Amino acid sequence: MKRFLYLLLFLPLYTFSQPQSIRQQVIKIASGIKAQVGVSAMIVETGDTVNYHAGDKFPMQSVYKLPIAIAVLHQVELGRLSLNQRIKVSPAEIIPVGVSPIRDHYPHGVTLSILELLRYNISDSDGSACDVLIRILGGCQKINQYIHGVGIRDIAISTTEMVQVSDDWVQYRNWVKPEAMLLLLKKFYAGLLLNRSHNELLLNLMIKSGPGAKRLKGMLPAQAVVAHKPGSSGTHYGLTRATNDVGIVTLPNNKHLLIAIFIADTYADTEEREGVIAQITKTAWDTWGK
């Protein structure tokens, strides 16, 4: 009898955290593309969770700009950096290919505030801004130490954008498990990593993100509030190694969806890859937003 009561006590926790209906839908959507797909999602207010290959490693691409931004703001809070501090961006730091409005506007270099660099890094996904932020933080190892130190272990920030854009294989050195990215989003949204003003600053930069509009936001109403950070690799010989989006979605019932979706190593076209991310997000919206 005691054993039965013990099992009864813990059974609801499992069904509560892994709703079978949404998990079945996620599996169906993810199985429809020939790719490695990883999903980790949770409702902040209830703890409802769904995972799919959430313990596998995926290349982050520009998703890693989110933990880098958090690390910068942490240094601001420690008084070691200032948002108004001016930083010189030399021509040698400007990435030759890939996304970089800084390169497009200031090919010979420029001096920008840390706040401006954060905006370029998050809202525009600028690889040059990212590398400058890595530099002022003391390098990738320092960022890793900070992120691991706050309890996010299954993540590796190993290279700059400059190194990454020159070799398609390097991106696998900047990896994360979806469940670890979800934990980062959870700690960030709960205010466990930054103070309120810096949390709001970063959320607003994520809401204004231009790239990846057809991913998490792709099938949601136009007025949906989505704070997100996408990441994308190039496509070489038809193979796309990374199509990702992670973020925080405000649902119609005012609950908040934390979600991380990664698609790796596929010959599927852009529409199909982004469509999978959009469909999974819409499924979570419909299931948990009522």
**C-alpha to C-alpha distance for 183 and 192, rounded to whole angstroms:** 11
Contact in structure between 59 and 264 (CB atoms under 8 Å): yes
Largest CA distance in the chain: 76
Contact in structure between 60 and 244 (CB atoms under 8 Å): yes
**C-alpha to C-alpha distance for 271 and 103, rounded to whole angstroms:** 28
For the chain, counts of helices (H) and of strands (E): 11, 12
Residue positions annotated with a catalytic role: 62, 161
Give residues with Cβ within 8 angstroms of 158, minimum separation 6: 140, 144, 173, 174
- Residue among 47, 37, 24, 59 nearest 215 (CA): 37
